[in-house]
Amino acid sequence: MKWILPFCLLLAAHSSLAASWLDAYQRQDFATAKQGFVELIPLANETAAYNLGVMALHGQGQPVDEATALGYFFLAAELEHPGARSAIQQVSDALSAEQLSEAEQVYTALQQRIQLPKRRADAITQRTAGPEPVSRPAPQYPVDAARRGQFGYVMLRFLVDEEGKVQTIDTLDAFPQGVFERSATRAVRRWQYEATGEKHIVRVRMDFRLDADLNFQRVHALLHNDKLWDFANAGSPRHQEVLGTLFELVAMGSNKSWQVRHELSEQDMAPDLSLFRDRSRLSASLDDFVGLAHIELGSGGRITQVDFLREGSNWDEEQLLAATINTAAAPGRYRILSSQNHRGRYQLHIQPIQELPANMTARYWWDMAARNGDRRAQQILAAFDPHWEQYLIAQQDPEVLAWSGTQRILNGETELGWAMLEQAIAQNNATAKALKKQLL
């Protein structure tokens, strides 16, 4: 039988979560370790389920219980833990019919505790549309950050009032933390949106970089010299959250559109930053096109196939097949998007569609960190994913209560929204207090 995962003994000093139950396991404080693993079961954490099975099987801090162990292995297999099916085969062959029945009952009870779906979404997407921007002055680059050659991004969430003025501002995510947040916040306070007569919650991200291209040498150093990749793969929730933020920055700085590949191979165990490097700028005879399409490009820059055309696009498939991308474009799949900027002009973006391993996406690592109990990653996902939002509401997270309550008030769910906002205020949450002043 495979022993509890080896990486559990390596990371006691690298995250608050690891310092509790992983370190407890190393000290053979099995009661504390078990409590930590049990707390992760509602998050559909396959490693926690597998480790609880191992502990029950070997009688670590409890009497040996093969039926309970098998029940945990059943859950770990459902959540796609790589070692679970082998464990099931080894354990179940030695059990009686009565024990097998008991294991099924344990498994059924565990399933009822799961509060989140096991499948991850491919990307982070906005759920609501906000007002159109009228004026957005650029942020100042912090002098110290420029001197050190630092780059990064800030994701902000804020309330826009009826007149289009920005009010309460909250930092949803930033990389690196404590460097660009103040500059981003100061800039957003001067922004002006269209006056709609209604309040809106808006989310934006600001990229900070000194050069047009991202400094991949620094990204490589963060991944390898600082061992960010190693610690994240070893299971440190804090490193997983930071790695997700880094990949969000890298992907958004690339002139590509991504198709996520969930089945990982051995070569995916080392990050290939070359996937992000191509920043070619392509042109096309699509000056009047408005909408979104995925196309197949042949030799000579000719569009040979239209794989997808969004409803509402002003061109039909026949018009696209008659168009030409510049001849420098390599054959393959491309994403064509023409959208309106804040000045009311349409801009055409042509991006190659490239396959990207799931473990080089922000969503993959944020999800891993969140399921390992990292609250920051959970809060990031809650801003975009209703499953995580509902989970943190149930956990009485004040930040999520404040913003989700405000959104419900704006949607007309007044009684529920105010109750959530007051729950956040009762926890002395400054953001909730500021939002209340704007809503009254």
Whats the size of the chain, residue-wise? Answer: 440
Q: What is the mean pLDDT of residues 49-78?
A: 94
The span from the CA of 327 to the CA of 302, in Å, is 8
* Contact by Cβ (8 Å): 221, 124: no
Work out the mean pLDDT of the chain and round it to a whole number.
85
Q: Is it true that the peptide bond before 139 is cis, omega within 30 degrees of 0?
A: no
Q: What is the mean pLDDT of residues 15-43?
A: 78
State the pLDDT confidence band at 405, using cuts at 50, 70 and 90. very high
The span from the CA of 196 to the CA of 176, in Å, is 35
Q: What is the mean pLDDT of residues 35-62?
A: 92
Domain 6-113: CATH superfamily, name plus number: Tetratricopeptide repeat domain (1.25.40.10)
**313-357 pLDDT tens trace:** 888 888 888 888 775 677 888 888 876 654 556 777 787 888 889
State the pLDDT confidence band at 396, using cuts at 50, 70 and 90. very high
Please report, for the chain, the start and end positions of each structural domain, with discontinuous segments joined by +. 6-113, 133-236+244-255, 276-358, 396-439
The span from the CA of 230 to the CA of 227, in Å, is 5
pLDDT value of residue 27: 83
More confident residue, 307 or 381: 381
Bridge partner list, 275:
none
Whether 196 has a pLDDT exceeding 70, the answer reads yes
More confident residue, 12 or 63: 63
More confident residue, 144 or 265: 144
* Contact by Cβ (8 Å): 204, 156: yes
Q: For a pLDDT cut of 70, what percent of the chain falls above it?
A: 87
DSSP code per residue over 86-138 = HHHHHHHTT--HHHHHHHHHHHHHHHHH--S-SSPPSS----S--PPEEE-PP
Instruction: Map residue 166 onto helix, strand or coil.
Output: strand
pLDDT value of residue 251: 85
DSSP code per residue over 288-355 = T--EEEEEEE-GGGBEEEEEEE-TT-SS-HHHHHT-BB-TTSPSEEEEEEEEE-TTS-EEEEEEEEEE
CATH for 133-236+244-255 is 3.30.2420.10
Token digits for 418? 């105010």
Q: For a pLDDT cut of 90, what percent of the chain falls above it?
A: 48
Whether 7 has a pLDDT exceeding 70, the answer reads no
Whether 14 has a pLDDT exceeding 70, the answer reads no
pLDDT value of residue 281: 59
Dihedral (C-alpha) 410, 412, 414, 418: value to the nearest 10 degrees? -20
> Distance of CA 434 to CAs 159, 172, 397, 421, 425, Å?
10, 16, 17, 11, 10
The gap from C-alpha 384 to its chain's centroid, in whole angstroms, comes to 9
pLDDT value of residue 8: 33
Whether 181 has a pLDDT exceeding 80, the answer reads yes
Q: What is the mean pLDDT of residues 184-211?
A: 92
Dihedral (C-alpha) 17, 19, 22, 25: value to the nearest 10 degrees? -140
Token digits for 146? 């420029």
Q: What is the mean pLDDT of residues 25-51?
A: 89
Please tell me whether the overall predicted TM-score, pTM, comes out greater than 0.75 for this model: yes
The span from the CA of 407 to the CA of 129, in Å, is 12
pLDDT value of residue 319: 86
Q: What is the mean pLDDT of residues 113-130?
A: 65
DSSP label at residue 267: G
Q: Which residues, 6+ apart, have CB-to-CB distance to 82 below 8 Å?
A: none
State the pLDDT confidence band at 258, using cuts at 50, 70 and 90. confident
Q: What is the mean pLDDT of residues 367-380?
A: 93
Which amino acid does the sequence have at 99? Answer: Q
Token digits for 179? 């460097």
The span from the CA of 17 to the CA of 163, in Å, is 44
More confident residue, 406 or 17: 406
Question: CA nearest 47: which of 11, 109, 4?
Answer: 4
pLDDT value of residue 2: 35
State the pLDDT confidence band at 122, using cuts at 50, 70 and 90. low
Which amino acid does the sequence have at 30? Answer: F
**156-175 pLDDT tens trace:** 999 999 999 999 999 999 98
The span from the CA of 105 to the CA of 99, in Å, is 10
Bridge partner list, 355:
259
The span from the CA of 17 to the CA of 39, in Å, is 11
User: What sign results for the dihedral spanned by CA atoms 311, 312, 315, 316?
Assistant: positive
Whether 426 has a pLDDT exceeding 70, the answer reads yes
Q: What is the mean pLDDT of residues 205-217?
A: 81
State the pLDDT confidence band at 282, using cuts at 50, 70 and 90. low
